Every structure is written in structure tokens, then in C-alpha cells.
Amino acid sequence: MLIIPQAQVAHRLNSSVQVKNYLIISLCLTYLLSYFVHTILVELFLSLLSVIAFLISLFSAKTIPRILSLLMFFSGVFIFISKGSNIYEISSGVTSNLPLLTLVILVPLLAIPLKLEGYFHTVEYFLKKISSDSSKLFGGISFLIFCLGPILNLGSIRLLHETIKDLKLPSFLLAKSYLVGFSTVILWSPYFASVALVLYYLKVPVSEYLPLGLSLAFIQLLAGNILFRIYMKQKSPVNFPKVTAKQKKIPIERDQTKQFIHLCVTLAFLMGIIFVLEFLTKWPMMLIVSLTSIIYPIIWCLLKKRWAHAKRSFADFRRHSLPNMDNETILFISAGLFGKALTGTQFSAGLRSALNDLAGISFLFFTISIICAVVLLCFIGIHQIVVVTALATQIDPYVIGTTPPVIALLLMVSWAISAVLSPVNPLNLLVSSAVQHPGLSVGLKWNGVYLLTMFVIGVLFVNLIH
């Protein structure tokens, strides 16, 4: 019997991971190229890369996403064939969600300049200053997630938790502040997959959606902070880290203040530049965000002359961030193919008719039904990408008497609630792992009242702007 040395097995596994990482990067770059070079050859090559990336990522994906993705992928191919579609139509289905996948993969690159600038040391400094006041600390953490989440995605929670874990804060405070802060990001950020996906399918310009999404996000953030203050008044006393008299007298260092201002300016710049570029170029928002995610770190490295440090950060991104994208890779590719295949089928017509009938009863009943359906399906393990894609492609806002931005906001509320509540969602899993408590405790026990408030406010807000 041939025994392969353990070191050799590890080397082979590492090599296969590296091949997959380079393949994913090539897929993203080829998509960006395909927008500017419209040829059949590039399109077919892009679809071939997508299929290979899908098959390779299947082996490392989690069980539920793997099963769902296989079902959607092969069902999509079967439906296309049964409709008599040609290879180009199937190819179009395979690549239909690549703009979203590219955005999700490349956005973490924006974290590189933020880390190397030392902004998170500044964040730690200010949070330590207020660590003895639970309400201020909750407000500070949730607001930082609100600001950093649009750029760093789930990485904002990872980085912030690593920064403040030495403060030994209570688990309930961390779980509440992380989820309150990030649930608001899901509602409005064009850098986040939820907003990008829905606006992409409903063909809503970010400039039309942002005032609605951002307004509701601020309301939810305020509601979360008010609920925490009420919660702390009713809770038995909790010992928070004490700030000594000596520490209180220490004035805020000028360089820390300056760093914090630089951080705010950087975040504002990254948000503003995409709107300016959209206005000037008329390019799709997801393309602009993806290009910004590549170009900004490169320009920063050129201006700061920090190539040596940045090179290590880019290598870390390739080695550690990309391998964690397996679930997203297979879900986006298969959901795009399946959603495209359903167009024009009897199932599609039936689903659209059922949704129209719900809206015909009353728009209030329609909004409640949509949110409950998304939350229930996501709670049992079906990812929002699958559920929301199906709904976004089948709801015709004008037929049910409303507008695309209203439907977009409704789907965002559904996505945000289900992300916090579902114990199999990446957001819930990340926070429960960070605070070392079960997902149901994190989502339902500690944030149940907030989710109910979010549901009521979301339904009322959507119906108010309807």
C-alpha cells in the first residue's frame, strides 16, 4: 500500500488552493475586461472560467450551499435545454451574476490601505476612552460598524473585534452592537452584495435608492441604540472596564484626532467617488465599485510608497480572503443561471401571478408576506441570494402599483432581518463565533426585540413611501 507523506499531501492541497485563488482572480479581471471588450470569444472564455470556478469551489463549500447550488445549476441547464436555448444563451446565464461576484470578491482590497494607515489603532484608542460607559460604548461600536461596514463588509466586524477583544466586554453588548450596526449597512451600502444584487435586477440607480435606504438605516441605528439603553436600565448591573482618574485626565492626543479625521475623510471619499464616477461615465455601479476596489489601493501604494507592506497584504488577501469565498462563488453563479433560465417559463408566470395577487389584496399584506417568506426560508438555510434573486426577477413594481426603489427597500429589510436571525447566515455565524455563544442566542434572544422593531419600522416605512 502506497503511503503519501503528510508534508506532500499538505503541499498538494496548498497548491490546489493557490490554483483556485488565481483562477478566481482571473475570473474577476476577465469580467472587468469583458465590459470594455465585447467579443464572443471573451464571453465564451468568461463562461468557461465561471464553470471551472464553480466546480472547483464546490469541493470546499459548506454542505447546504453546495446542495442548493448543484440543484440550481443543473436545474438551470435543464430548463435552458428544454426551452431549446443555444450555447450563447446558456453562457449568458452562467455569467449573469458575475458583476455581483466580482464586487464581493474585490471589495475587501479596500481594507489594505485602512489597515496600513493604522486607523484601527485610533479606533481602539477612542473606544478605550469610553469603555466604562455602556451606552456610549454601544453607540460607538454600532456607529463604527455603520461607517466601516460599507467598505470592509463582514471584515469590519472581524477587524473591530480583534481590535477591542482585550477590553473583555460583555458578550451581549458585542453581539447587540455588531448586529445592530451591520444590519443597517445591509439596508443602504452600494458596496454590499445585498444592495448591489437588488438594484442590479430591479434596474434602480443608486442615486434614487440611497436617500431611502440611508434614511431607514439611520432610523434603525437610532432605534437599536434606544433599545439598548432601555435594556441596560432593566438589566442587573454589569461590570464594565473601569477608566481610572489618571486616564480620564489624559487629553486626546492630536495625532489620534487627526487620524480619526483622516479615517472619516477616507470613508467619505470612497463613498463619494463612486457617485461621481457613475455620473461622469454612466457605467454600472457594480463595475465602478469593483474598479475602485482595485485602483484605490494601487494609487495609495504609489503615493505612500508602501509597496513592501502592501505586497504582504495583497498576498494575505490571496491566501486567506479568497479561500473563504467558496460559498459565495457557487451561490452567485448557480443562482444567476437558474434565475435567467426561469425567465419565460410557466413557473415564472405562476410566481409572478401569485405575487400580483398578494399585492392585489393590499400592499401592507404584500410587504408583510414578502418579509416573512424571506426570513422563514433563510432561517432554514436557504441563502438570501437565492430567495431575493427569485423575487427580484419576478416582481414587476409597476404592475402592483408601486416603484422599483420601494420594492428594493422591501427586499433589503427582508435581507437584513433574516441575516441577523438565521443561525446559518454568515453574519450570525461570524458574530456568534466572535462572542462564543449559540447563533439562536445571538440572533433571537439578544436581538429579538430589535428585529421585531426593525420589522415594524420597515413595514411602516415601506408603506409610507409606497
The answer to whether residue 9 scores a pLDDT higher than 50 is no
Q: Are 135 and 173 in contact (CB under 8 A)?
A: no
Question: Does residue 34 fall inside a structural domain?
Answer: no
Reported as a single tens digit per residue, the pLDDT across 268-312 is 888 888 888 888 888 888 888 889 989 999 999 888 888 877 888
Question: Does residue 90 fall inside a structural domain?
Answer: no
Question: Does residue 290 fall inside a structural domain?
Answer: yes
CA end-to-end span of the chain: 70
Exposure string for 133-149, b = 16+ CB within 10 A, e = fewer: ebeebbbbbbbbbbbbb
The answer to whether residue 184 scores a pLDDT higher than 90 is yes
Residue 56 identity: I
Residue 242 confidence (pLDDT): 58
The rounded distance, in Å, linking the Cα atoms of 209 and 213 is 6
* Higher-scoring residue by pLDDT: 150, 216: 216
Residue 31 confidence (pLDDT): 93
Reported as a single tens digit per residue, the pLDDT across 336-381 is 898 888 877 787 778 888 888 988 889 999 999 999 999 998 888 7
- Domain hosting residue 458, numbered range: 108-304+343-465
Q: What is the mean pLDDT of the chain?
A: 85
The rounded distance, in Å, linking the Cα atoms of 93 and 336 is 6
Exposure string for 15-53, b = 16+ CB within 10 A, e = fewer: eebeebbebbeebbebbbebeeeeeeebbebbbebbeeb
Question: Does residue 20 fall inside a structural domain?
Answer: no
Question: Does residue 367 fall inside a structural domain?
Answer: yes
Q: Are 335 and 72 in contact (CB under 8 A)?
A: yes
Please tell me what DSSP assigns to residue 191: T
Q: Are 429 and 418 in contact (CB under 8 A)?
A: no
Reported as a single tens digit per residue, the pLDDT across 417-444 is 999 998 878 888 888 888 888 888 899 9
Reported as a single tens digit per residue, the pLDDT across 140-164 is 999 999 988 887 777 788 878 877 8
Query: 98-106 and 285-304 helices cross at what angle (nearest 10)?
Result: 30
The rounded distance, in Å, linking the Cα atoms of 87 and 44 is 9
Residue 95 confidence (pLDDT): 92
Reported as a single tens digit per residue, the pLDDT across 71-111 is 989 999 999 999 888 888 899 889 988 988 888 888 888 88
Tell me if residue 312 falls in helix, strand or coil. Answer: helix
Residue 414 confidence (pLDDT): 95
Question: Does residue 239 fall inside a structural domain?
Answer: yes
- Length, in residues, of the chain: 466
Distances (CA, A) of 256 to 116, 122, 157: 15, 6, 21
Q: Are 419 and 427 in contact (CB under 8 A)?
A: yes
Q: How many independent structural domains does the chain possess?
A: 1
287: left (phi over 0), alpha (psi -120 to 50) or beta: alpha
Categorize the per-residue pLDDT at 115 as very low, low, confident or very high, splitting at 50, 70 and 90: confident
Residue 26 identity: S
Q: Is the dihedral of CA 272, 273, 276, 281 positive or negative?
A: negative
Question: Does residue 279 fall inside a structural domain?
Answer: yes
Residue 216 confidence (pLDDT): 96
Please tell me what DSSP assigns to residue 61: S
Between 4-8, 192-196, 376-380, 437-441, the lowest mean confidence (pLDDT) is in: 4-8
The pTM of this model reads 0.83
Question: Does residue 12 fall inside a structural domain?
Answer: no
